Structure 1
């Protein structure tokens, strides 16, 4: 069996006016003849077609000039050639081309073409969690993966050619783990209508672009919007770690609501924080409904800040009285749980500093959280 292998790096698919879809290749060895049976890798797998015409530019002529090609009956290696033929629009650029000299070689070469592409894709190191990447050629796929690696964005699956239903189903697996990765980055490829419909139904986001940077920017914007939405959804559950010391000369109201000035000794305090007193058998003082610094409303106060807070009773709890249930000698801490800690870790990690995490460890021991 004689196999004519054409260059992977210079193999391109182009639409030329008057010629239709053509493929540009470099003939590395042997002789390619008009009418030879070609085995190529297509968007739906390997296929065969005949080389209808072998075209090369006329000597000393600009390629942009119309009718600048000369048809040849045969091409001898090593040189470039433009080939016309049926179904070439299905060809995946960057994949190998083989020549079948006998009919019984076609199926063998189809298997060989599949193995070459599978080997190339399987050599790409994938992560357990990440985006799904689709590109028009192996070269553009490698370029996109290099950019994602540099940007520290993991990828769990790759493919070349248009986005099909099977690609969406593979990407949808990330919905069970982390929805931010349930994304297909489709670079310079079409998305089949059925694939887009399924993606919309199951919740997979497909981004398409002809420029890598645009694809990257669209994905980052999507991830930020998703993260912001998740933060809003889990804001009530996320209790930040804090230690508060009441300022004895800043007690403005002793009951329902309690209004006192405090200094944040550690961590950070925000609206919605439930405060408790470990030294008084973990009596719940109430929930922080507002904060003021220098008579201005704030959403959060960090370590070292003196802040006036309003504390209202938690649902179902009898109002606590300053001076009876607690006073300025008692340390107030945020009432954290396993669920609230997990919510902070997952959705508000960037809001905490090193000292805040150390306080979390201390509070976990106080509340005996495993």
Structure 2
């Protein structure tokens, strides 16, 4: 599962080369009017709706990936809901066909040609799985779907393209369909516009260039020397573009380091920008170009970009006794706050970027507040897809503040849940050691085996529950009792037990502390006295907790 948006450009020359065998099979020729495809890869986790929302805002058509072996999952439903809400056209890539039973893979072959080469058992398994996915999409997502080459009405049915990311099978079918649908049904919509639309995907540090931005330019143009405004952790950032770079075709901006330098870049493109003062830039926000001489326009731009961060941080309630959260991007932070809110995990502080000395000092100060004495399980730092410095780790160890890191949100939630369960178990065990449950016992006079410590006798539980560890009093009167010791053993039919309940007759062993005045059966108490548990105020408080 990825947690950031990445971009890869596929030039039309590459697409033409990849689809030539398919077009030959179909006896058609490619009529491409576009320069290529910019593929934006977004996270698959269902809690990244906000990050995906930014991605879908950037796109003309979407590819919804479904694993043919597993069918639809929660994130599939969430993605369909999001795409429908934004009225974004999409096709389904039914991935991992190479795992179909007895499938014979041929690298980079079109699906139509690959299917012809399959044995009967592979075709049968494939058809069964496709039918299952189509039925799932209809029942759970209210979506009409059909294999793309059987689809006679693209407006009524969503096309399914079987693919394998591992072997490259079906990728040519996918490319062909993307170009055909966008050119046929979207027309002017896919044309590049003059006004700038640019989103920051990630903030990276380069040894040669310092801090850089990975952005997606959807519309407009960026030039070397442009004055840009973007969101910063501590306020708007205004700086000047020093270097513009794009990954070589088929290289992803999120991963690879093989770039080409440009003086200017036109949309659409994935771009890496080098500029001063980017260390506090917030990924997942808008980037605007301004005229530095127009003060009104600059101030308006600064207000626009910063409002994106402000709207997210306003969801955090600083006075809440909650956890300390840091995430890598604004989208990640937005998603994790939404996920924690639905999981009933209170957040007292949320930030973006790595965790170092300053963040640890801030967390330590926050956790020293008195309300945290009642919620020790919330004295924890949750770091999502961010680095924690060695100094910060040492500080956390000294302050006994757990720091949980993960790059998959479920793992972070699971670690926090295990931490909470462990804390609560320890507190419960401590409380149980102090708790004395009410109990009333009648002594069975025919079953008195030992009259001095350890006293051994038979009793019947009249009220409440008797547990090992219960301190007992012998009632003389309501105002007068004799402490006879603590139950250290309990047997029924010569079998050890930890507790006994109303109506049960059991044999108990009662020990007295050596320093205490020794109480003897038959002298200070006998079968005429009921035995009751000694319940202290401390025990009542522990029971309430």
TM-score normalised over the length of structure 1: 0.74
**Residue 129, structure 1, aligned to residue 326, structure 2:** no
Structure 1 residue 148 displacement after superposition: 3.0
**Residue 154, structure 1, aligned to residue 154, structure 2:** no
Check 1:245–1:74 CA distance in 2 against 1; reply closer, same or farther (3 A cut): same
- The match for 2:310 among 95, 115, 118 is 118
Check 1:52–1:334 CA distance in 2 against 1; reply closer, same or farther (3 A cut): same
- The match for 2:274 among 53, 72, 85 is 85
Q: Is the 8 A contact 2:247 2:257 kept in 1?
A: no
**Residue 313, structure 1, aligned to residue 512, structure 2:** yes
**Residue 34, structure 1, aligned to residue 230, structure 2:** no
**Residue 209, structure 1, aligned to residue 419, structure 2:** no
Aligned runs of 1:1-370 on 2, under 5 Å? 6-7=198-199, 11-13=201-203, 22-27=212-217, 31-42=221-232, 46-55=236-245, 61-64=249-252, 71=262, 73-75=264-266, 79-86=268-275, 88=278, 90-102=280-292, 105=295, 113-124=305-316, 128-163=320-355, 164=359, 165-173=361-369, 175-277=372-474, 280=477, 281-314=480-513, 317-346=516-545
Check 1:17–1:160 CA distance in 2 against 1; reply closer, same or farther (3 A cut): closer
Runs of 5+ consecutive residues of structure 1 not aligned to the other structure: 347-370
Q: How many residues align?
A: 338
Check 1:66–1:313 CA distance in 2 against 1; reply closer, same or farther (3 A cut): closer
Residue aligned with 2:465, SS: strand
Structure 1 residue 258 displacement after superposition: 1.6
Residue aligned with 2:419, SS: helix
Q: Is the 8 A contact 1:39 1:97 kept in 2?
A: yes
Check 1:43–1:304 CA distance in 2 against 1; reply closer, same or farther (3 A cut): farther
1:78-127 Cα offsets, whole Å, 9 max, x none, are x4541321354643322343434216856885566555423321134577
Q: Which has the larger displacement, 250-259 or 110-119?
A: 110-119
**Larger relative contact order (C-alpha < 8 A, sep ≥ 6)?**
1
Q: Which has the larger radius of gyration?
A: 2
Q: Which has the larger displacement, 304-313 or 65-74?
A: 65-74
CA distance in 2, matches of 1:166, 1:208: 18
Root-mean-square deviation over aligned CA pairs: 3.7
Q: Is the 8 A contact 2:485 2:512 kept in 1?
A: yes
Residue aligned with 1:92, SS: coil
CA distance in 2, matches of 1:154, 1:266: 41
Q: Is the 8 A contact 2:316 2:348 kept in 1?
A: no
1:2-32 Cα offsets, whole Å, 9 max, x none, are x96744xx73346799988653434577654
Residue aligned with 1:11, SS: strand
Query: Residue 162 of structure 2 corresponds to which residue in structure 1?
Result: none
TM-score normalised over the length of structure 2: 0.53
Q: Which has the larger displacement, 174-183 or 83-92?
A: 83-92
